Homo-oligomer: A and B are copies of this chain.
Amino acid sequence: MAKSTLHISKGVEDAPSINPKLKAHPFARRSPEELALKLAMGDLSALAQGITLVESQAPTDLSDASELLNLLMSKSGNAIRIGVSGVPGVGKSTFLESYGIYLLEKDPKAKVAILAVDPSSAKHQGAILGDKTRMVELGKHPRAFIRPTAAGGALGGVARATKEAMILCEAAGFNHIFVETVGVGQSETMVSQLADCFLFLAMPGTGDELQGIKKGIMEMADLVAMNKSEGEYRTAAERGALEVKRALQLVTRSQEEWIPSVSLISGLFCEGFEVLEADLERYFRHAKIKGTFEQKRNEQNQFWFERSIYEGIQSLFASDINWISLKSALNQQVLSREVSPFEASRQLLDSLKGKI
């Protein structure tokens, strides 16, 4: 953090125009216009600072964050957004580091951003953050950007931070965005609502390849990669891939729909990446031809719009002591089955009459 502050101060001194508001601010700080300008030129410290700004919950940052996003909105949307999930130990970080470097070396125009989402980090003191320190190689690459989203709180809050970080990364010219998530609680569902493509990492196990695959993950995966398909594990991986393939076909047999492919990869030895890349390209071609690519992005935007209105309204009421105590009393009655949940909500809503 100290390092990035240094960068920022330097940036401000170099900036062609200094916002007059800056003088009143206790710390040197770029205006949204300056940040947007630097960021759109691909300046990584501006990108980092921008993300910190949109992540901030401080009321004083809200209008600057809004302004920054509005300035950059039109420059976003041009990346492919890939959600990556899998059980702890499946090798997500190793895979992302190797595959990121593979993409960067292959294509001089590629720019790879990795956003790591851990909704539980507030509780677990950011386990995923520790993970990131392992992506040493990729982290040093000038066309890579790695960022853990430390935001906790409501689902919508974490999603907002991630989605807005994504917008800023795209505005900064990143064209491959990976959103990594640990398989905790609702994080996969959230990431699948942020990404164009959901890549699930599996691994060969002790005869039970699907161990740990939670309910619902099969239906969310657009692609599956069997990681650690290397050396002595190769045979087990091939068997596991077949099993996963069969399961995937059973749940998505429609003619119209995409049937997820399953590839064998090794993050550690950088193997199978050509096949995975071809699978990804095939997926995006299919989604664009069928129109599901744009449709999905629209639905996601609609989803988050409704969702965050909902969360916002809830937090408005959350400061109303009468609402809270009535809701909690009614909730008790619902749980003890004295009153139907619908009747309880009617009573709660009646208390709003004349207020709205």
Among A334, A337, A343, chain B packs the most CB atoms within 10 A around the CB of A343
Complex copy number for this chain: 2
Q: Which residue of B lies closest to A251 (CB)?
A: B218
B340 engages A309 (CB within 8 Å): no
**A63-103 at interface with B (beta carbon < 8 Å):** 66, 69-70, 73-74, 76-77
A164 engages B338 (CB within 8 Å): no
CB of A147 within 8 A of chain B?
no
Q: Which of B219, B309, B335, B348 contacts A345 (CB 8 A)?
A: B309
Q: Which of B66, B253, B310, B320 contacts A310 (CB 8 A)?
A: B310
Distance in angstroms from A150 CB to nearest chain B CB is 17
CB-defined interface of A184-219 with B at 8 Å, one 1/0 digit per residue? 000000000000000000000000101101011011
User: How many A residues face the partner with a CB closer than 8 A?
Assistant: 62
How far apart sit A39 and B213, CA to CA, in the bound complex (Å)? 47
Residues of B within 8 A of A340 (CB): 69, 73, 163-164, 167
Distance in angstroms from A163 CB to nearest chain B CB is 7
**A229-283 at interface with B (beta carbon < 8 Å):** 243, 246-247, 250-253
B302 engages A334 (CB within 8 Å): yes
CB-defined interface of A139-166 with B at 8 Å, one 1/0 digit per residue? 0000000000000000010001001100
A316 engages B210 (CB within 8 Å): no
B302 engages A349 (CB within 8 Å): no
B356 engages A320 (CB within 8 Å): yes
**A166-182 at interface with B (beta carbon < 8 Å):** 167
How far apart sit A180 and B356, CA to CA, in the bound complex (Å)? 38
A301 engages B337 (CB within 8 Å): yes
Distance in angstroms from A304 CB to nearest chain B CB is 4
A343 engages B70 (CB within 8 Å): yes
Q: Which of B215, B338, B349 contacts A312 (CB 8 A)?
A: B349
Distance in angstroms from A100 CB to nearest chain B CB is 25
Residues of B within 8 A of A330 (CB): 305
Distance in angstroms from A169 CB to nearest chain B CB is 13
Residues of B within 8 A of A345 (CB): 304-305, 308-309, 312
Residues of B within 8 A of A349 (CB): 309, 312-313, 316
How far apart sit A305 and B103, CA to CA, in the bound complex (Å)? 48
B334 engages A305 (CB within 8 Å): yes
Q: List 26 A-B contacts (CB under 8 A).
A: A62-B346, A70-B343, A73-B337, A73-B339, A73-B340, A160-B342, A163-B341, A163-B342, A210-B253, A213-B251, A213-B253, A218-B218, A246-B246, A247-B250, A247-B251, A301-B334, A305-B334, A305-B341, A305-B344, A305-B345, A309-B345, A309-B349, A312-B349, A316-B349, A317-B356, A355-B356
